[in-house]
A and B are shown apart, each in its own frame.
Chain A
Amino acid sequence: MIRLDGVTKHFGEVAAVDSASLCVARGEIVALLGPSGCGKTTLLRLIAGFERPDGGSVTVDGRLVASPAAWIAPEARRVGMVFQDYALFPHLTVAGNVGFGLPRRTRAGRVPELLAIVGLDGLERRYPHELSGGQQQRVALARALAPSPELVLLDEPWSNVDPFLRESLRAEVAEIIRPLGVTVLLVTHDREEAFTLADRIALMRDGSVVQEGTAEELYFAPATRWAAEFVGAANVLSGRIVAGRV
């Protein structure tokens, strides 16, 4: 469904993304988990088409969308995105925001359908400032889902929300997304978020994907000491293995 092969992106001398490779299957929810500054948002922006890679390739549903030699514009990639601050248009109503990227002829039918999916029927004439944070998030999600994308990218959607609300917003998004079978790539630095929402987690460090697996695999079988300590509290003890015993 999505395939990243050796994707690299430099900003000046700094390699923000360094030979990152990842596959995401159709309908899968994958979290890109890593510390701040590890390149996960840049990788998301490369997939969305907001940045051009210096090396490697991005393939979405079998179609090469980005490489140093190939380029498909963001609007033609069938990728939806929910931004950190939702990025709703303040001067547009809920219906206007959701239908923004849709062809005029399909808006009238598609917008009510999406508002029903995200549980906002009846609020189509409201403006973003008249909505709660949770409702704004659902508008942003509906807008991302509007053109029936192959893939939805979530860029730290709950990072500015208090922990209590974060939990309920996360559950809301999962309830909306799961039945649709949409492929989702979530960027987060929050281990709990990745563990509770994702089918699989890609752990990033210094621009590269250093380990992939389920939450259990990452937690109980980390590849390195860094991975072990990033995904949870750890006692790391030194020892020697002799004849299969420590």
Chain B
Amino acid sequence: MLVRPELLELEPSPAGAGEVVAREFRGHDVFYRVLLDGVELVSQRPSTEVVDLGSRVAIRVHDGRVPVLD
């Protein structure tokens, strides 16, 4: 299953299952690396949404195209 980074939304939450382990500021957006159950995911969020490094986050897949790859 392919999930593009911009489809992964992050919601800071102390009980969240994910942890922000890296953060790359790129100007109009920010790339976050989030560890979830041992898997590292990439989330791309607008730079107006700030999530601190080390934060616990809930992760939600935005409604969008999530193709299945063979």
Contact A246-B4, Cβ < 8 Å, known A221-B67, A233-B42: no
CA distance A80 to B31 in the complex (A): 41
Contact A224 B69 (CB under 8 A): yes
> Which residues of chain B have C-beta atoms less than 8 A from A232's C-beta?
4
Report the minimum CB–CB distance from B3 to chain A (whole Å): 4
CB distance from A213 to the nearest CB of B (A): 12
Min CB–CB distance B69 → chain A (angstroms)? 5
Evaluate whether A225 and B4 lie within 8 angstroms (CB atoms) in the complex, with A235-B41, A235-B42 already known. Answer: no
**A237: nearest residue on chain B (CB-CB)?**
B1
- A128–B42 Cα gap in the complex (Å)? 46
Contact of B4 among A234, A238, A239 (CB under 8 A): A234
Min CB distance A182 to B, Å, is 33
In the complex, A241 has a CB within 8 A of chain B: yes
On whether the beta carbons of B68 and A235 are closer than 8 Å, the reply is no
Please tell me if the beta carbons of A235 and B3 are within 8 angstroms of each other in the complex: yes
Residues of B within 8 Å of A233, CB to CB, are 4-5, 31, 42, 44
Q: Is B15 an interface residue (CB 8 A)?
A: no
Query: Do B67 and A225 touch (CB < 8 A)?
Result: no
A238-B69 Cα distance, complex, nearest whole Å: 9
Within 8 A of B (CB), among A78-131: none
Q: Which residues of chain B (20-70) have a CB below 8 Å from chain A?
A: 31, 39, 41-42, 44, 64-65, 67-70
Are the C-beta atoms of A236 and B2 separated by less than 8 Å?
yes
The distance in angstroms between the C-alpha atoms of A76 and B21, with both chains bound, is 59
Q: Which of B3, B5, B31, B68 contacts A241 (CB 8 A)?
A: B68
Extra inter-chain contacts (6) besides given A224-B69, A236-B1, CB under 8 Å: A220-B4, A221-B65, A221-B67, A224-B70, A233-B44, A239-B1
List the 10 shortest-distance A-B pairs measured between CB atoms, nearest first. Answer: A220-B65, A235-B3, A237-B1, A233-B5, A235-B41, A228-B2, A225-B69, A221-B67, A233-B42, A239-B1
Q: Which residues in B have some Cβ–Cβ distance to A below 8 Å? A: 1-5, 8, 31, 39, 41-42, 44, 64-65, 67-70
Can you pick out 7 interface pairs between chain A and chain B where the beta carbons lie within 8 Å of each other? A219-B4, A220-B4, A224-B69, A228-B67, A234-B2, A234-B42, A246-B68
